[in-house]
Amino acid sequence: MRSSRTWGAVAIAASIMAVLPATAVAAGVDQKSDHAALTAYSSYLRAVDRRIPAVRKAESAYVSSIATGCAGALAPLANLSTASVNRTALFDFGEELGGSAFIVAYRPATGPFVRLAGMLRKLHWSSPVIGKTVKRYLAAQDALFALAPGDVCTDAQSLAASSAKTIPPGSAEWIAEFRRDAAAQESAAGAFAKVLEEFGNPADRVLVASDAALLRSLTGKLKGVATSGATKLVTTLGL
The pLDDT profile of the chain, 239 residues, written as one tens digit per residue, is 444 444 444 444 444 334 444 444 456 888 899 999 999 999 999 999 999 999 999 999 999 999 999 999 999 998 888 888 999 999 999 999 999 999 998 888 999 999 999 999 999 999 899 999 999 999 999 999 999 999 999 999 999 999 999 999 999 999 999 999 999 999 999 999 888 888 878 888 888 889 889 989 998 998 999 999 999 999 999 98
* pLDDT reported for residue 24: 44
* pLDDT reported for residue 83: 86
Instruction: Give yes or no for a contact between 61 and 144, defined as CB atoms under 8 angstroms apart.
Output: no
Query: Helix 152-161 vs helix 52-70: angle between axes, to the nearest 10 degrees?
Result: 40
Q: Could you tell me which residues come within 8 angstroms of residue 174 by beta carbon, excluding any fewer than 6 positions away?
A: 96, 99, 100, 150, 151, 155
* pLDDT reported for residue 26: 54
* pLDDT reported for residue 82: 85
CA distance 214 to 7: 57
CA distance 116 to 232: 32
Instruction: Give yes or no for a contact between 160 and 74, defined as CB atoms under 8 angstroms apart.
Output: yes
* Dihedral sign of CA atoms 195, 199, 26, 36 in order: positive
* Dihedral sign of CA atoms 106, 221, 228, 88 in order: positive
CA distance 58 to 55: 5
